[in-house]
Amino acid sequence: DADVTQTPRNRITKTGKRIMLECSQTKGHDRMYWYRQDPGLGLRLIYYSFDVKDINKGEISDGYSVSRQAQAKFSLSLESAIPNQTALYFCATSDLGQGGAGELFFGEGSRLTVL
Amino acid sequence: AQRVTQPEKLLSVFKGAPVELKCNYSYSGSPELFWYVQYSRQRLQLLLRHISRESIKGFTADLNKGETSFHLKKPFAQEEDSAMYYCALRPYSSASKIIFGSGTRLSIRP
């Protein structure tokens, strides 16, 4: 079934460690996004990519980096994790759609805890 | 700057009562507005968008450009409506991103 898959689903790590969250999709969408969800803050955009050669910073990109390895793969890295990066991370994809109204399709989320 | 505001973190209503989840936005141009919903143990998913002018699961939302609002309404709440609801905005440009509000948790009491 066409889907958005995130790995790992849960991860506990220590301060200073490098972490990579991976996202793959079988929807054939060009656009991919990484959001983080925090209680009371909703979803905040970290990075987004409109195609393999296009990477853009979102609202809260500091401390994160991304790689768009292929149309179907978009990875989020924390080079040196810190406790305030503890959050639920979502990958999403979208198609442009008619009139530019592309719906977002989300993965199940990756819960990251930084100790 | 574009912003989406959902003033209520939690809204609790009785089954059968009307529901209104508030959403206000700030954007100088013509935005696209959406409501996304996250039911327990399910993925975040699109509920409705303003350009469709449709009713989904009994919910409707009207874009009021004068008040810059896009409130979500349902005349009679059902227990299965309990979920987290996010209002979202996309500036009307193909090179733009979607911005979410902080979300409102709707709890329907039996």
At A50-108, the pLDDT tens digits run 889 999 999 899 999 999 999 999 999 999 999 999 999 999 998 765 444 578 899 99
B90 touching chain A per CB within 8 A = yes
Q: Whose structure tokens read 């968008």?
A: B49
Distance from C-alpha of A29 to C-alpha of B109, rounded to nearest angstrom? 39
Distance from C-alpha of B13 to C-alpha of A85, rounded to nearest angstrom? 34
Q: How many CB atoms lie within 10 A of CB B14?
A: 9
B85 touching chain A per CB within 8 A = no
List, in sequence order, every residue forming a beta bridge with B86; answer none if it has no partner. B36
How near does any CA of chain A get to the CA of B107, in Å?
16
Q: Report the mean per-residue pLDDT for chain A.
A: 91
> Which is it for strands A10-13 and A110-114: parallel, antiparallel or unpaired?
parallel
pLDDT recorded at residue A57: 93
> Which is it for strands B10-14 and B104-109: parallel, antiparallel or unpaired?
parallel
Model confidence over A15-57: pLDDT tens digits?
Answer: 999 999 999 999 988 899 999 999 888 899 999 998 899 999 9
A33 touching chain B per CB within 8 A = yes
Q: What are phi and psi of A25, to 5 degrees?
A: -140, 145
List, in sequence order, every residue forming a beta bridge with B32; answer none if it has no partner. B90
Structure tokens at A106: 């989300």
Query: Looking at beta carbons, which residues of chain B come within 8 Å of A58?
Result: 97
Of residues A32, A27, A108, A101, the one with CA closest to residue B54? A101
Q: Per the CB < 8 Å rule, is B43 touching A96?
A: no
How near does any CA of chain A get to the CA of B99, in Å?
7
Q: Per the CB < 8 Å rule, is A45 touching B36?
A: no
Model confidence over B6-64: pLDDT tens digits?
Answer: 999 999 999 999 999 999 999 888 788 999 999 998 999 999 988 777 888 999 998 89
pLDDT recorded at residue B31: 83
Q: Per the CB < 8 Å rule, is B102 touching A96?
A: no
Inter-chain CB pairs, A–B, below 8 Å: 54
Q: Per the CB < 8 Å rule, is B44 touching A45?
A: no
Helix (H, G, I), strand (E, B) or coil at A84: helix
Of residues B21, B40, B24, the one with CA closest to residue B99? B24
Peptide bond into A83 cis (omega under 30): no
Query: Which residue in the set B93, B95, B100 is minimally distant from A42, CB to CB?
Result: B100
